Amino acid sequence: MDKILRINMSVNGKPEAKVHPLGDYAGLGGRGLTSAIVSKEVPPLCHPLGEDNKLVIAPGLLSGSAAAMSGRISVGCKSPLTGGIKEANSGGQAAQVMARLGYAAIILEGLPENDKLYKIVINKDGVQFHEDNTLKMLGNYDTVDRIKSEFGDKVACISIGQAGEMKLGSASIAFTNMEFRPTRHAGRGGVGAVMGSKGVKVIVIDDAGMKMRSPKDPEKFKAANRQFVAGLKKHPVTGEGLPAYGTNVLTNVVNEAGGLPTNNFKAGRFEGAPKVSGEALADMIKERGGNPTHGCHRGCVIRCSGIFHDELGNYLTKQPEYETVWSHGPNCGIDDLDTIAILDRMDDDFGVDTVEMGATIGVAMDAGLAEFGDKEAAINLVKEVGKGTPLGRILGSGAGITGKVFGVERVPVVKNQAMPAYDPRAVKGMGVTYATTTMGADHTAGYCVTANLLSVGGTIDPLSPQGQVELSRNLQIATAAIDSTGMCLFIAFAILDQEETFNALVDLINAFSGLSLTGDDVSELGKTVLKVEREFNRQAGFTEKDDRLPDYFLKESLPPHGVTFNVTDAELDSVFNF
């Protein structure tokens, strides 16, 4: 990948594409590249939906190669939801296809004229723009079906649904999977709204005629890849738990630990958890002819995704992820997997973040718009988003806005982004990450569940404040580096426990790139990414006061353990002292 594709949506009234060399961005990929470009080229105080913001789409350093697990893609911009820098990460086929075309990044710039809506087609011969207003207000599924009828199913699609077109704060960007379904999403931070502001409905990427990227040292690369895959397969999480039950394997684990946020973070255990657990979900999928073990992109060996069929045996949606099961399930008092799957399908189709949407419905229930546990009411509230009604636009703007509109104090957000599926009082390492990450509340930024609940990479008492800052710091650094490689974050389970698997990863990077990186160099990459992101946020107006949880987490004790979040402000302010 030796070039950047810049697409300005308004040059003399029409879009224009130009290819540029990497220049100062050479050696960067994924999150490292998106954050570097946003930091350097986007004014921190600009309006997120204005012409000065840019949407950066970047595969990782290893994407497009034969490296296992290397098909993740990063989307960066100034976030309409948080007002700070944003990197949202997704699976799907686009990373591999983009990388094989030689593009380290696609950058959308400027604004279209007169609310025009475009379809962009990228292949080995260049870039084509098609104004296509017939796509307006289509869901992601209908949009992808249109593309399939025109281009077949061997291409990759990057698209937005109705929420992105309406520029809502919870809007996601969809990436097609191996079955050409829009089920993989860069979900967090409203990145879909930025794509919508650029007037781009769908980007079609076709790598026909292009070869897989070759490593500098093929033999060393093959050997490192074999050792890396072997490590993933022998680890109990990546080799057994995730393939068998998907990410939802965590429901019973987190519920038993008393950290499963229930009824808008009022309790840490949900009576109906076994009904929506990974074990129950896998059994249901098998009974209906679906597949609980499935990869989200080619080259995935963990295969924690899945395919969910309805009661009649027809495809409905991907296997709902743990965060989705939690957000639309226990968080809303709902213990029905079919309802959760319907909500997941609508979220993907409308193009909204499932974490933000489920958290928002929980806040709406607290406001009295529905009762906790009311399945039909939850479905109808999400339908409002797809319709674009005034209520739907409020809900689609996220939990923070919804809480303000309806006068709810208990709104679980940091930097206006909703918290995911771990209560910070009972899983305190996650609370530190929520508070301090540059991204707003985000579990993937520093996944302290590893040591807090799973005894991966060590064991730290989740109910004690001791050791949580160091844990979160180290994981935030490691995550920033992993997100830059194009690797799936779940490799962290194995590389934290197995030194030989971490060394294999470093060897894999070196054999591919021709570099001689050490483990310390990988750590330095993560630190550099975080420094760049924090400086952008500082210039955007963020201070240490933004690195805090809502007050009620410090005051309200959480059943069943009766704990509050008691990591001090001074400790939170020390996270980035490296």
| Residue 575 backbone dihedrals phi, psi, to 5 degrees | -55, -40
CATH of the domain at 163: 3.60.9.10
pLDDT for the residue numbered 113:
87
Are residues 299 and 416 located together in one domain of the fold?
yes
The token pair at 318 is 């991907």
pLDDT for the residue numbered 3:
96
Residue partners of 119: CB distance under 8 A and separation at least 6: 129, 130, 132, 135, 147, 201, 202, 203, 204
Q: Is-contact 356 172, C-beta < 8 A? A: no
Tell me what the mean pLDDT of segment 566-570 comes to: 98
pLDDT at 149 over 80: yes
pLDDT digits (tens, 9 = 90+) for 158-183: 999 999 999 999 999 999 999 999 99
Q: How many CB atoms lie within 10 A of CB 120?
A: 23
Location of structure tokens 């060897």: 507
Are residues 36 and 109 located together in one domain of the fold?
yes
Residue 254 lies in a domain: no
Question: What is the rounded CA–CA span in Å between residue 487 and residue 142?
Answer: 30
Tell me what the mean pLDDT of segment 192-211 comes to: 97
CATH of the domain at 574: 1.10.599.10
Are residues 231 and 334 located together in one domain of the fold?
no
Residue 252 lies in a domain: no
Tell me what the mean pLDDT of segment 401-406 comes to: 98
Tell me what the mean pLDDT of segment 394-402 comes to: 98
Q: Is-contact 42 52, C-beta < 8 A? A: yes
Residue 333 lies in a domain: yes
Are residues 435 and 414 located together in one domain of the fold?
no
Are residues 279 and 365 located together in one domain of the fold?
yes
284-293, 337-346, 366-375: which range is least confident on average? 284-293
Tell me what the mean pLDDT of segment 231-238 comes to: 95
Are residues 410 and 389 located together in one domain of the fold?
yes
Residue partners of 229: CB distance under 8 A and separation at least 6: 68, 301
Tell me what the mean pLDDT of segment 34-57 comes to: 98
Residue 253 lies in a domain: no
CATH of the domain at 407: 1.10.569.10
The total of structural domains in the chain comes to 3
Q: Is-contact 351 392, C-beta < 8 A? A: no
Range of the domain at 157: 3-205
Are residues 60 and 157 located together in one domain of the fold?
yes
pLDDT for the residue numbered 295:
83
* pLDDT range class, residue 298, cuts 50, 70, 90: confident
Are residues 457 and 547 located together in one domain of the fold?
yes
Q: Name the DSSP letter for residue 563.
A: B
Are residues 118 and 39 located together in one domain of the fold?
yes
- Of 422, 445, 467, which marks where a domain is finished? 422
Are residues 410 and 441 located together in one domain of the fold?
no
Residue 127 lies in a domain: yes
Tell me what the mean pLDDT of segment 458-467 comes to: 98
Residue 195 lies in a domain: yes
Task: Provide the percentage of residues in the chain whose pLDDT is more than 90.
Answer: 94
Give helix 375-387 / helix 337-350 axis angle, nearest 10°: 10
| Identity of residue 223 | A
pLDDT at 379 over 80: yes
Residue 70 lies in a domain: yes
* pLDDT range class, residue 299, cuts 50, 70, 90: confident
| Residue 109 backbone dihedrals phi, psi, to 5 degrees | -130, 160
pLDDT at 296 over 90: no
Residue 451 lies in a domain: yes
Residue partners of 393: CB distance under 8 A and separation at least 6: 166, 168, 385
Question: What is the rounded CA–CA span in Å between residue 401 and residue 458?
Answer: 38
The token pair at 52 is 């000065």
| Identity of residue 362 | G
Are residues 284 and 166 located together in one domain of the fold?
no
* pLDDT range class, residue 1, cuts 50, 70, 90: confident
- Of 422, 444, 472, which marks where a domain is finished? 422
Are residues 138 and 14 located together in one domain of the fold?
yes
pLDDT for the residue numbered 166:
98
- Of 407, 422, 437, which marks where a domain is finished? 422
| Residue 4 backbone dihedrals phi, psi, to 5 degrees | -120, 135
Concatenating the DSSP letter of every residue in 448-461 gives THHHHHS-SSS---
